[in-house]
Structure 1
């Protein structure tokens, strides 16, 4: 029987510093810790430009073989989240929803802010990125949006309440790559105030590196900001991402159906009533 978050015990044979280090090493491979922008090889791995389908499939298999066990250990058959009502409701329950994982971040944060940021980065990569490379069919997308995204969103919002807020510290704001992945749950949520937070932190860091004349960092942040603004467009129009409707069992309006014929679906292909995810487009995707 699945346990609620408050009483959910993390399996310490899985959830430990070895896992957290492996997640960072895997996702940030080839990116020096203090890099202000990622090398091309990392951009290829994350976003897929120039990769063959075979290479993309190999990355998916690697995500599954390395981290599928950890994801399954947090799946809905083991960790029972409260029924989703709204993002505002989840915000009010964020510390409850994320409680077993928040304890992990809080513990690391109590030792050092940078340690907390590293722990949070590892868990966000696990909850936000690994599902998007592992679960690609309609049922899988429902898990991504309805379970793992709720965990990552709640964990990020709760972790930002820790003092000092990691997002305002040099260990994050002076590392654009870290910042972009730490805040990616905001880009993926259907909650406009959280999108504004994404823009707030990205623009603040952009200004820092603009003043430093770090062109590569500014270009990297500009690209992220550009795609964040594209994500906001359907939310302002519909209050949700229409391309998620099928996976979440939501009925699309006629206006949404028309929009999906030509509007942004961020890498999720619309095929009548079936959504299939193609995560390896050249652009950052909603399912990034």
Structure 2
């Protein structure tokens, strides 16, 4: 049985930020093979004890928010544990546990907010990353996620995976580069300011 320490050692010590945020089929396979059963256990409610202390909550959040995206990339299962991750992150933040974790690992308590299709969660992610991270790159991405939700109320790139109909405005956005275009716009606005 996989424990929280194994998840944290793998994700924070063996991996780099490049692994965390880059699409890589081989890395996705590694995550699936090593932690697939743990994600299944979390989705069945087997790891409630992890949510009773900071490192356990961090491991749970990484497993249910980040690793799920690696294991099930481009499928609806990638988002199946998002509610559990969001609840765990909000609880940990309310207890101040995010401040017990050094950056950049701290961001994993904020990413479930950033992955939420709720503007209030998005605003909170931007605020927390701005106030508690001090990292311009993470803040840029948080602002980009928020802008997508502000414009569309959801992430259009998830539509196909979730069986949602894409609107004309969403398709135009995707055709123009989607998220990457939002990043470019925000970078240009910051440079002009």
- Which residue pairs with 1:154 in the alignment? 87
Q: What is the CA–CA distance in structure 1 between the aligned matches of 2:32 and 2:161, rounded to whole Å? A: 21
Q: Which has the larger radius of gyration?
A: 1
Q: What is the CA–CA distance in structure 1 between the aligned matches of 2:93 and 2:18, rounded to whole Å? A: 30
- Which residue pairs with 1:230 in the alignment? 144
The alignment's TM-score, normalised by the length of structure 1, stands at 0.57
The alignment's TM-score, normalised by the length of structure 2, stands at 0.82
Q: What is the CA–CA distance in structure 2 between the aligned matches of 1:154 and 1:43, rounded to whole Å? A: 24
- Which residue pairs with 2:33 in the alignment? 65
Gaps of 5+ in 1: 1-13, 31-40, 80-98, 107-115, 207-217, 267-288
Higher-helix-fraction structure: 2
Q: What is the CA–CA distance in structure 1 between the aligned matches of 2:89 and 2:48, rounded to whole Å? A: 9
- Which residue pairs with 1:44 in the alignment? 18
Residues 196-234 of structure 1: per-residue CA shift (max 9 Å, x gap): 22222222224xxxxxxxxxxx5xx10000011111112
Q: How many residues align?
A: 180
- Which residue pairs with 1:272 in the alignment? none
Q: What is the CA–CA distance in structure 2 between the aligned matches of 1:149 and 1:61, rounded to whole Å? A: 20
- Which residue pairs with 2:107 in the alignment? 180
Offset of 1:100 from its aligned partner? 5.7
Q: What is the CA–CA distance in structure 2 between the aligned matches of 1:237 and 1:150, rounded to whole Å? A: 22
Query: Which has the higher relative contact order, 1 or 2, with Cα contacts under 8 A spaced 6 or more apart?
Result: 1
Partner SS, residue 28 of structure 1: helix
Offset of 1:131 from its aligned partner? 1.5
Runs of 4+ in 1 over 4 A off after TM superposition: 99-103
Q: 1:160 to 1:181 in 2, by over 3 A?
A: closer
Partner SS, residue 28 of structure 2: helix
Offset of 1:183 from its aligned partner? 1.3
Offset of 1:104 from its aligned partner? 2.8
Q: What is the CA–CA distance in structure 1 between the aligned matches of 2:19 and 2:150, rounded to whole Å? A: 30
Q: What is the CA–CA distance in structure 2 between the aligned matches of 1:104 and 1:57, rounded to whole Å? A: 29
